[in-house]
Amino acid sequence: MDKGKVYLVGAGPGDPKLITVRGLECLEECEVVVYDRLASPRLLRHLKPGTERIYVGKLPDRHTMKQEEINQLLVDLALQGKTVTRLKGGDPTIFGRVGEEAELLYDNGIEFEIVPGITSAIAVPAYAGIPVTHRDLASSLSIITGHESPDKLDRSIHWDKVTNATGTLIFLMGVAKIGYIADQLIKHGKPPETPVALIRWGTRVEQRTVVGTLETIERIVKEANFQPPAVIVVGEVVLQREKLRWYENKPLFGMRVLVTRARSQASELADQIELLGGEPCEFPVIETVEPSDPAAIESLRKQLEQAEHYQWLMFTSVNGVDYFFGWLRKFRIDMRRFVDAKIAAVGPKTAEALAKRGLVVEELPAKFHAEGLLEHLGPQLRAGERVLLPRGDLAREVLPRELKAMGLIPTEIDVYETVLADQQEELALEWIREKEIHLITFTSSSTVTNLLEVLRRKGVTDPVELLSDIPIASIGPITTQTAIEAGLKVAIEPEDSTLDGLLQAMVQYQQSNKLSQ
């Protein structure tokens, strides 16, 4: 068997968009990815279907895998002929132990490639509004480990040379030693009033920054109960933060949001959350698929073949639009055969999906659900008119029931089915268990019921209790009702039952929380 190849990839410090183009290519090419919690789970959406995922971080039944075990795991996978991407936080060559992994690969005759990443030493200060160099303040910098014990630090660091040779000093992993580091820098010539900043979990929603001087920083860190991991910045560039802090000013900064939509639809909401400064955690609990039953497919074809007989086409979701046109293509049915049908959509996103296909809907209802659609279209509907409803198998019965009551003849066709998704990231589940999710979004009733079922299948005895302390954002009243009936508490519901409305309501919620703190 031919040996495989291992890519040792730096994922950047946390923000998934800070990975390099080459790093993304390695993710897209690999057959196995080995990752830990320092790498954003959002990066895993770039994997091709079927890629094996091996999480080497901490699990409920297992502590973090030791470095020696990870080294051997990479060798074993490559000896099986697999292409492996080892995804590491930051840059793998800066205190990332890439040398140990690469050396064992070399000893076993395995081809490897080291792909640099953006180091936290530069990116984390930038996200805190601190450029590590400045023409007027610092023309050089040093990156130093602060993780060792004081005696080891003294053996590895020449304090007199470091203190006076460079403008900005960057210490990685040195929170516990901040007092000793400050004392040594003052002892060897740094003025006690030299500015110092500590940035914890930089580029992530947990980012937190404290600022002081060499003389005061130890007391500030203790009073704030400031915990690692953090980057320490020493130098005049710290003063730039007062004007340049940008990331922490974003409206959803500090919020990690669980996105439960189907994987094919999650990116739209996730991208907007990210743009607003939040961290989306994609945890798809539903999938949409075509019906597989031959009898159901034949029934679907027969109904579509009667295109000329319908006076209305009513769409209640983007999925309904997409699958409807997919079936028209498969059955080679020309859309122009629906010549007598007016077109209605339950909301703006559904109308937009139709507009992309050159179809204009009747005026949109003020309330974006079935009841609102009926209320809006009431004066235009006539008894005896035939209505085609392309929907999913779990669609509510309100629309066809009320149409019948009004004397119309509705025909429901299940153009897609909603099923339980069975592939979720272990890290996302860990975040839920550890209460590191700050908000859960539900965009349909099925996302509510399926999340609870997924958690049960993952071994959670009482999922409602697990989620009881996490605020919930529901897209509209129908979804809210489902959540409440399941025993959950809804904190956010927008006036407009749209993604944009949901995002605006989330921003208002976050801003009100910040004002109350």
65 is an active site residue: no
Q: What is the DSSP string of 390-402?
A: EEETT--SHHHHH
8-state DSSP, 337: G
Active-site pick, 5, 15, 88, 173: 173
393 is an active site residue: no
173 is an active site residue: yes
CB atoms within 10 A of CB 85: 29
CA distance linking residue 308 with residue 341, whole number of Å: 8
CB of 57 within 8 A of CB of 79?
no
Q: What SS3 class is residue 389?
A: strand
Q: Which residues contact 424 (CB under 8 A, 6 or more apart)?
A: 283, 284, 285, 454, 458
Q: What angle do CA 322, 324, 327 make, to 5 degrees?
A: 110
CB atoms within 10 A of CB 149: 11
Q: What SS3 class is residue 29?
A: helix
Q: What SS3 class is residue 251?
A: coil
Active-site pick, 58, 82, 250, 342: 58
Q: What angle do CA 77, 83, 85 make, to 5 degrees?
A: 85
Q: Which residues contact 321 (CB under 8 A, 6 or more apart)?
A: 315, 350, 353, 354, 357, 390
Active-site pick, 36, 91, 322, 414: 36
For helices 348-355 and 318-331, give the axis angle rounded to 10 degrees.
Answer: 30
Residues designated catalytic = 36, 58, 173
